[in-house]
Amino acid sequence: MRYLTNGKEIFVPAGSALYTDADDVGEDAVYYVMEGKVRLSRNLESGYTFTYDVAKDGVFGVVEAITSGVRFVTATAETNCQFYVWNKQSYETALSLYIEFAKLNIQELSHYLRAINQEAEKVWINYVR
Amino acid sequence: MSADAEEPLEPPSEEVEESLLQVAFSEIRDTSPEIFSQLGRTYQPGEILFRENDNSKELFMIVGGQVKISRGDNQNEKMLAVLSPGEIMGEMSHFDNYPRSATATAVTEVQVLVFTKANFALIFELHHKWTLQLVYSLCNRVYSTFGRVLQGHTMLAAANAKTPAGS
């Protein structure tokens, strides 16, 4: 895949955290899953845990890199994983240059937003009960 | 990730293609009357641009006015966002082919540019500003919606703390 450029490949064993909620977004800003599965999670004040899984060919870490610069979920390798990782600038360059990469990102973000919208709806329903 | 296979795209007419080229290379908010006559639509306050669970795939860019994004029906409506000029909406169904996740309603009189899949594919290929605009827009919406989830759970935790056990 030609968009895997200007970044680096990393290997992460199952069970390792890539980053934790409240970490600053560093040089390893955006991850593309070459192999394996990652779980994004956040323990919420009510005791509920939000989870979202990212599989092969998925991208994660984008939202914090583009918005606050601070992680709001923890990312943990569910299996042994291989990632391609960019810093923010290289990621934006890849987005600008490769239309297929842009589409993949927009699809992943749309999917993530649908999942979070459902969580928002669930918590509202629970609260009004 | 997408709900179904991409359908073959009908190429736009010459007039529409000319307008699309102008859109692709102009600033996102700049819309001439010629472009608006080809791609624009006006909605009155209260009119629906698209409904939750619709299968429409058009993508909208707001040129003027404000649009409310909400889920649920009239009795149980939950407002997700109010969008303003320059913002893009409808991109989720446009790209992942799932039904609309929310309803878009004109709050004021609203002018939008409306892109079919074929139209938008053309300008998306032509200029990267659209790519970045869409990614930034989605990131901001994920971030703000997640903020509401956090807030909701904080309220839920407070409500649970006030409720005596077993009641």
CATH of residue A34's domain is 2.60.120.10
Q: Between A75 and A118, name the one with better pLDDT.
A: A75
Binned at pLDDT 50, 70 and 90, residue A50 comes out as: very high
CB A39 within 8 A of CB A2: no
Interface contact B1-A111, CB threshold 8 A: yes
Mean pLDDT per segment of 10 residues, for chain B of length 167 residues?
A: 56 71 62 80 96 90 92 80 86 85 94 87 74 86 91 88 68
| A84, A105, A121, B114, B134 from B131: Cα distances, Å | 20, 10, 28, 17, 5
| Average pLDDT in chain A | 93
* Distance from C-alpha of A10 to C-alpha of B54, rounded to nearest angstrom: 41
> How close B45 comes to chain A (CA, Å)?
25
Give me the number of domains chain A comprises: 1
Residue by residue, DSSP assigns B93-106 as HHHH-PPPSSEEEE
Asked if residue A50 belongs to a domain, the reply is: yes
Tell me which chain B residues have a C-beta less than 8 angstroms from the C-beta of A111: 1, 96
Task: Identify the domain containing residue A54 by its residue range.
Answer: 8-128
User: Is A2 domain-assigned?
Assistant: no
A67-71, A86-90, B26-30: range with lowest mean pLDDT: B26-30
Closest CA–CA distance from residue B46 to any residue of chain A (Å):
23
Q: Given a cut of 80, is residue A90 above it in pLDDT?
A: yes
Using CA atoms, how far residue B132 sits from A99, A105, B22, in Å, is 11, 10, 18
In a domain, A1, yes or no: no
Lowest mean pLDDT among A57-71, A72-86, B43-57, B89-103: B89-103
Tokens of A117: 């919208």
Q: What's the average model confidence in pLDDT over A95-108?
A: 89
Q: Which residues pair with A32 in a beta bridge?
A: A59, A84
The C-alpha atoms of residue B80 and residue B144 are separated, in whole angstroms, by 9
- Write the DSSP string, A39-79: EEEEE-TTS-EEEEEE-TT-EESHHHHHTTSB--SEEEESS
The answer to whether residue A129 scores a pLDDT higher than 60 is no
Chain B residue set in contact with A, beta carbons under 8 Å: 1-2, 71-72, 78, 80, 91-92, 95-96, 98, 101-102, 124-125, 128, 131-132, 134-136, 138-143, 145-146, 148-150, 152-157, 159-160
Higher per-residue confidence, A72 vs B166 = A72
Confidence of residue A54 (pLDDT cuts 50, 70, 90): very high
Smallest CA–CA distance from A62 into chain B, residue:
B139
Contact between A77 and A38 under an 8 Å Cβ cutoff? The reply is yes
CA separation for the pair A61, B157 (Å, rounded): 28
Q: Which residue has the higher pLDDT, A52 or B75?
A: A52
- A3 within domain boundaries: no
Residue A19 maps to a domain: yes
Cross-strand pairs, B48 = B105
Instruction: Determine contact, residues A30/A63, Cβ cutoff 8 Å.
Output: no
Q: Tell me whether residues A107 and B2 touch, CB distance under 8 A.
A: yes
Tell me what the mean pLDDT of segment A16-34 comes to: 97
In a domain, A77, yes or no: yes
φ and ψ at A16, to 5 degrees? -80, 145
pLDDT for residue B30: 65
End-to-end C-alpha distance for chain B, whole angstroms: 43
| d(C-alpha A16, C-alpha B113), whole Å | 46
